[in-house]
């Protein structure tokens, strides 16, 4: 059908344009945040692009539904403004006839969203952690440059490493307490290895096979200590909370798990593809443009629907994870009412009735 092909062409173009714009905005703000953290030394600058790529990939399952929603809304709104919907209605093509191409496109996008939700996002969460863990072993994160003296942010200690091995280990390390310290301490070690405490976010260098010299030479309390391992804190900087174990699980692992966090994550992933056709139905209803109300009225209503729907899903996932909603109910208590509401609005719009007729009747009666 010519009308269906025209809708597919315009809706796909609008959706693609919106998704690209959203991706550009996401990448811009993500790059700004990642570069800022890399400049502060939270992780190595060499992983910026890789980290940004995975962080962008994990948002695809949220960008695609929004892109289709706005793309469908803009396409049909233009048809209303240009009186194309009036002509189609006169030819016997109403909203019920347009529902089929809208849902066909929604199902195709929902399949992409399902792939992103069940596979790409968990993979991205796992890879982000792998990249961060690998970068934490790099000596430049602790501000250590081979052959140069460096002052640590925590405690004001002076550090020196003669060389840096390919795996991040340090060779011939020297650590001295501040000059004005009451009890000076100098540590010499054959090798060292930077790492981050995952619980506190503090950065350390663990020194191995070395000697510690404490106090002032010639004093009665001067001590020389031999050690196998000695931990020196470099900085005290909190890390971002890592994704929960459920967020990084594969779908098979989620199904095998029995805890509330895994169940909540499973319903959260399932909700994203289900989100798409319901939003598409709302776009078909809310695209109607009334010249007396202006062009922004339907856009405001569409944004309000998306805001309420998405936030209720997020709230439901939180309640599931805390065990405050039974597992069998999942997030269906959000999807089903919104789907029924979209069908109700579609039936009223097809019959040329106002969406909120009871409100108008009460207003007139008052």
Per residue in 160-199, pLDDT tens?
A: 888 877 666 788 888 887 655 667 888 888 888 877 776 6
Measure Cα distances from 113 to 65, 70, 104, 108, 116 in Å: 7, 16, 14, 9, 5
Residue percentage of the chain with pLDDT more than 70: 78
Which two structure tokens, joined as six digits, stand for 54? 């995975």
Distance CA 131, CA 143 (A): 19
pLDDT reported for residue 141? 47
Model confidence band, residue 134 (pLDDT cutoffs 50, 70, 90): low
pLDDT reported for residue 36? 75
pLDDT reported for residue 140? 47
Distance CA 262, CA 313 (A): 16
Measure Cα distances from 48 to 37, 54, 161, 174 in Å: 10, 10, 25, 30
232 or 290, higher pLDDT: 232
Give the model confidence (pLDDT) of 256-281 as tens digits: 887 888 899 999 999 999 999 999 99
What does the radius of gyration of the chain's CA atoms come to, in whole angstroms? Answer: 30
Q: Is the pLDDT of residue 235 over 70?
A: no
Give the model confidence (pLDDT) of 61-78 as tens digits: 999 999 999 999 999 888
Which residues is 176 bridged to in the sheet?
158, 186
88 or 366, higher pLDDT: 88
* CA nearest neighbour of 244 among 234, 253, 233, 231: 253
Contact 231, 204 (CB under 8 A): yes
pLDDT reported for residue 34? 77
Strands 170-176 and 158-164: antiparallel
Q: Is the pLDDT of residue 353 over 90?
A: no
Contact 203, 234 (CB under 8 A): yes
Residue 217 CB-half CA count within 13 A: 2
pLDDT reported for residue 179? 56
* CA nearest neighbour of 133 among 40, 192, 197, 206: 197
Quick one: average pLDDT of 233-259?
72
Give the model confidence (pLDDT) of 296-345 as tens digits: 667 888 899 999 999 999 999 999 988 898 888 989 999 999 999 999 98
Q: Which long-range contacts (CB under 8 A, 24 or more apart) does 142-147 make?
A: 142/41, 142/194, 142/203, 142/205, 142/234, 142/235, 143/41, 143/234, 143/235, 144/170, 144/194, 144/205, 144/234, 146/170
Q: How many helices (H) and strands (E) does the chain have?
A: 12, 6
50 or 296, higher pLDDT: 50
Q: Considering the chain, what is the average pLDDT of its residues? A: 81
Three-state SS annotation for 48-78 = HHHHHHHHHHCCHHHHHHHHHHHHHHHHHHH
354 or 63, higher pLDDT: 63
**In 178-313, which ranges are E strands?**
185-196, 202-214, 223-236
Q: Is the pLDDT of residue 351 over 90?
A: no
Residue percentage of the chain with pLDDT more than 90: 29
pLDDT reported for residue 360? 47
Which residues is 80 bridged to in the sheet?
none
Model confidence band, residue 355 (pLDDT cutoffs 50, 70, 90): low
Backbone torsions φ then ψ of 124, nearest 5 degrees: -65, -40
Its pTM surpasses 0.85: no
Residue 278's SS3 state is: helix
Which two structure tokens, joined as six digits, stand for 279? 């939003």
pLDDT reported for residue 260? 87
pLDDT reported for residue 89? 67
Distance CA 37, CA 27 (A): 15
pLDDT reported for residue 152? 63
pLDDT reported for residue 166? 62
Distance CA 63, CA 113 (A): 9
Give the model confidence (pLDDT) of 294-303 as tens digits: 566 678 888 9
289 or 281, higher pLDDT: 281
Distance CA 172, CA 352 (A): 82
Which two structure tokens, joined as six digits, stand for 261? 């966090």
pLDDT reported for residue 271? 95
Sheet of 202-214: strands edge to edge? 149-151, 158-164, 170-176, 185-196, 202-214, 223-236
Give the model confidence (pLDDT) of 146-161 as tens digits: 777 776 655 667 888 8
């Amino acid at each position: 059908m010519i009308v269906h092909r025209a809708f597919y062409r315009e809706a796909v173009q609008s959706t693609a344009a919106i998704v690209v714009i959203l991706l550009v905005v996401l990448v811009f703000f993500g790059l700004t945040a990642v570069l800022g953290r890399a400049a502060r030394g939270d992780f190595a600058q060499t992983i910026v692009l890789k980290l940004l790529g995975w962080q962008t990939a994990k948002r695809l399952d949220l960008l695609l539904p929004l892109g289709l929603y706005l793309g469908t809304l803009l396409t049909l709104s233009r048809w209303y403004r240009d009186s194309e919907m009036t002509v189609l209605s006169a030819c016997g093509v109403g909203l019920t006839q347009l529902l089929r191409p809208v849902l066909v496109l929604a199902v195709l996008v929902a399949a992409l969203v399902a792939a992103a939700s069940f596979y790409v996002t968990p993979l991205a969460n796992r890879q982000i952690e792998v990249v961060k863990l690998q970068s934490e072993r790099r000596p430049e994160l602790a501000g250590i440059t081979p052959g140069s003296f460096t002052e640590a942010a925590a405690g004001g200690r002076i550090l020196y490493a003669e060389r840096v091995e390919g795996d991040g280990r340090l060779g011939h390390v020297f650590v001295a307490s501040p000059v004005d310290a009451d009890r000076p301490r100098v540590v010499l070690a054959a090798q060292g290895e930077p790492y981050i405490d995952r619980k506190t976010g503090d950065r350390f260098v663990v020194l191995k096979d070395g000697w510690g010299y404490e106090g002032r030479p010639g004093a009665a309390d001067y001590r020389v200590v031999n050690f196998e391992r000695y931990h020196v804190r470099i900085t005290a900087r909190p890390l971002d909370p890592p994704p929960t174990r459920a967020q990084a699980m594969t779908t098979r692992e989620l199904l095998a798990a029995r805890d509330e966090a895994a169940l909540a994550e499973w319903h959260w992933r399932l909700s994203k593809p289900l989100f798409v056709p319901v939003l598409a139905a709302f776009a078909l209803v809310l695209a109607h443009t009334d010249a007396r109300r202006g062009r922004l009225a339907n856009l405001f209503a569409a944004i309000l629907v998306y805001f309420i729907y998405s936030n209720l899903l997020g709230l439901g996932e939180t309640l599931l994870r805390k065990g405050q909603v039974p597992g069998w109910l999942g997030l269906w208590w959000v999807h089903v009412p919104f789907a029924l509401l979209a069908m109700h609005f579609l039936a009223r719009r097809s019959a040329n009735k106002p969406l909120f007729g009871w409100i108008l009747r009460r207003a007139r009666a008052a």
